[in-house]
Structure 1
Amino acid sequence: MVIGTFNMRMWWVCVSLEYDLIQITKAILEDTTSKVCTLSNLDFIKRQLKKMMGKFLLVLDDMWNESPSDWDAMKFLFSFAAPGSRVSVTARSKTISSIVTTNGDLTCFSPTTLSKEDCWEIIKKKLKTEVDNREDLKAIGLQLAEKCKGLPLAATMIRDALHLKSKEVEWDGLLKL
């Protein structure tokens, strides 16, 4: 049974530390066409993308670049948008949030970070080793939780790495990475 149709393209692009407008635009074009884009000129890429655009949801994930001029350069994408299109940005920086949200009807999500104790709870959950009675592992585990910088994904990855490890030297080895 079809309840409704969702006639909108969706792109999820991880921006991360390396802000490269050509790479971001190429990623969107490649996702749209399902073909590798060999173009390197931004104007040519824009023209190809403009032909493909319609109504879309664009998620720019993990934006780190705080330059308003770089953000202005990216806004060309929005000029191709059909009514009802949306752009969402995830960022850890309040500066990015203010740059994005002052540019029209856009949203920016700033994920909150966890406390060291919450990260420690994630790390010790589902471990094969009972760590609450092991002061040696608990001390290292709390240091590892601190290294997570409040990011639940980092805590989960540490937990997965320690899943079957019960020796202090193994935990200490991960801490020193």
Structure 2
Amino acid sequence: GVGKTTLARLVYNDDLAQNFDLKAWVCVTNVFDLENITKAILNSVLNSDASGSLDFQQVQRKLTDTLAGKTLLLILDDVWNENYCNWDRLRAPLSVVAKGSKVIVTTRNKNVALMMGAPQNVHEINPLSEDDCWSVFEKHAFEHRNINDHPNLVSIGRKIVGKCGGLPLAL
């Protein structure tokens, strides 16, 4: 991809993220299982399998109690679901977090981002330009070499960059 998850992980692991009382990272993917996602958030903020055999209402109540008045950094990675009712139910326990809390959602679907309710906070990550791709490729492929000494490798490298479609992870 264009690096959405990588960027979110940099935010999550940044020293400034330690200013949040609680942090949670949940990979959602294309199956939006509300109960499993809610359990994953609870388990992540508590660093344990705290949800155990609790039913959905119990998990939501425990999550609400855990989050109440605390600052939260929540990353929901690779979200596909556009069902507003599911999102509304997932957000319910998040309504008690302290001011300054942040929820970051990575998605391939702009409609998911817009549905979250803050269109001014949607940041689209575009593929790299061919020049930027070449710059990344050159830095890694020719790390300690003078590229002018290897014109045949430059030609091959340019072809590789052309096939990557601006996706940094493809390089």
| Normalised-by-shorter TM-score class | 0.5 to 0.7
Deviation of 1:46 after TM superposition, in Å, equals 1.0
Find the residue that maps to 2:114 and give its secondary structure.
helix
Percent of paired sites with the same residue: 32
Listed one character per residue, the Cα deviations across residues 17-64 of structure 1 (whole Å, up to 9, x for unaligned) are 333222221222112322223236322211221221132232223322
Residue of structure 1 equivalent to 2:31 = 18
Cα 1:132–1:141 change in 2 (3 A) is farther
TM-score, normalised via structure 1 length: 0.62
Map of 1:109-128 to 2, 5 A cutoff?
Answer: 109-128=123-142
* Residue segments in structure 1 that go unaligned for 5+ positions in a row: 159-177
TM-score, normalised via structure 2 length: 0.64
Map of 1:26-65 to 2, 5 A cutoff?
Answer: 26-36=39-49, 37-39=51-53, 41-54=55-68, 55=70, 56-65=72-81
Listed one character per residue, the Cα deviations across residues 104-139 of structure 1 (whole Å, up to 9, x for unaligned) are xx9443323223553343234221585752334543
Q: How many angstroms apart in 2 are the aligned matches of 1:151 and 1:141?
A: 9
CA RMSD in angstroms, aligned pairs only: 3.2
Find the residue that maps to 1:125 and give its secondary structure.
helix
Residue of structure 2 equivalent to 1:77 = 93
Structure with greater helix share of residues: 2
Q: How many angstroms apart in 1 are the aligned matches of 2:139 and 2:74?
A: 35
Q: In the alignment, is residue 133 of structure 1 matched against residue 152 of structure 2? A: yes
Residue of structure 2 equivalent to 1:9 = 22
Amino acid at match of 1:86: K
Q: How many angstroms apart in 2 are the aligned matches of 1:127 and 1:9?
A: 40
Residue of structure 2 equivalent to 1:171 = none
Q: Larger RCO: Structure 1 or Structure 2 (Cα < 8 Å, ≥ 6 residues apart)?
A: 2
- The correspondence for 1:94, drawn from 110, 116, 131, is 110
Q: How many angstroms apart in 2 are the aligned matches of 1:151 and 1:136?
A: 18
Q: Is the 8 A contact 1:93 1:110 kept in 2?
A: no
Q: Is the 8 A contact 1:63 1:91 kept in 2?
A: yes
Find the structure with the greater CA-based Rg: 1
Q: Is the 8 A contact 1:114 1:151 kept in 2?
A: yes
* Residue segments in structure 2 that go unaligned for 5+ positions in a row: 1-17
Residue of structure 1 equivalent to 2:8 = none
Cα 1:23–1:118 change in 2 (3 A) is farther
Q: How many angstroms apart in 1 are the aligned matches of 2:58 and 2:26?
A: 20
